[in-house]
Amino acid sequence: MHIDALLRADRTRSFEFFPTKSDAEAATLEETLRELSPLEPSFVSVTYRGGAESRQRTFDLVSRIQGETGIVAMAHLICVGHRRDELREILESYLEHGVTNVMALGGDVPDDPALAAADLQYASELVELVKSVGDFSVGVAAHPLGHPRSPSLESDRHYLAQKLAQADFAVTQFFFEAHDWISLVNDLADRGITKPVVPGVIPVTTLSGIPRMATMGAAVPASLVERLERAHEVGGPAAVRQAGIDAATEMCRTLLDEGAPGLHFYTMNRSTATREIHSALYGV
């Protein structure tokens, strides 16, 4: 099943995982998959860091989820570190294993310049290549606050509109205020782009997580920081965790009220917080 077809049929609920690097991480992910499967996600996605080892871990996990669980799985794929023929080979292998959904990304530039060589530079080029290889549904990334490497928000929106015109849908980086997604969607509509943009969600459940969120792609707004700090003063870490989950749930409700086509949960390979938000929203 193509994700763009799922989005046309109904609102989606989806989860994101990353490939594991150790037996302990693998055991945690297995438990997470068992706990989240009963929630019947519309699809799941698996991230990709680049390099042959990471590529194989992503391929193995996506193929296993697709083949063994029956859940629609989407593979992330990046330009960085790949030649065009290598990307074609990866895509053809996915088709052979029944994986027909791809998230096309530019990719982060690695510290080692030797690993950065690539025939394609931009995600829009990768979208074009994926479409030429076979019958894929292709998603792209959107950044409500602008990509960290973009010179301006205007520039970021311009290029997002260009690549989304070629792709089938977008999934956003996480953010913490509903109006960021609303502004993004309205801006794209003004540019003639009305394809689905699925908001990405992650709760902030610890005070130590606040600075980490900024390095991962989106700073926690001052109003939420204050809310979490007040919670800590009253009830310590447990109260912070609950306040973070409550804030994420409230934002999700607003997003759905504003017409979001679905919700995409960044699980960090753990299920507890995601299940709590999901239960509050959907009763499951």
Q: How many other CB atoms are found less than 10 A from the CB of residue 56?
A: 11
From the list 134, 128, 126, 125, the residue with the least C-alpha distance to 96 is 134
Catalytic residue of the set 16, 125, 177, 276: 16
The verdict on whether 92 is a catalytic residue reads no
Instruction: Give buried/exposed letters for 219-234 (b at 16+ CB in 10 A, else e).
Output: bbeeebeebbeebbee
Neighbours of 280 (CB within 10 A): 15
Residue 213: both structure tokens together = 């969120």
In whole angstroms, give the CA distance from residue 205 to residue 203: 6
CA dist., res. 163 & res. 61, Å (int): 27
Nearest one of 240, 43, 278 to 137, comparing CA atoms: 43
Q: Which residues are catalytic?
A: 16
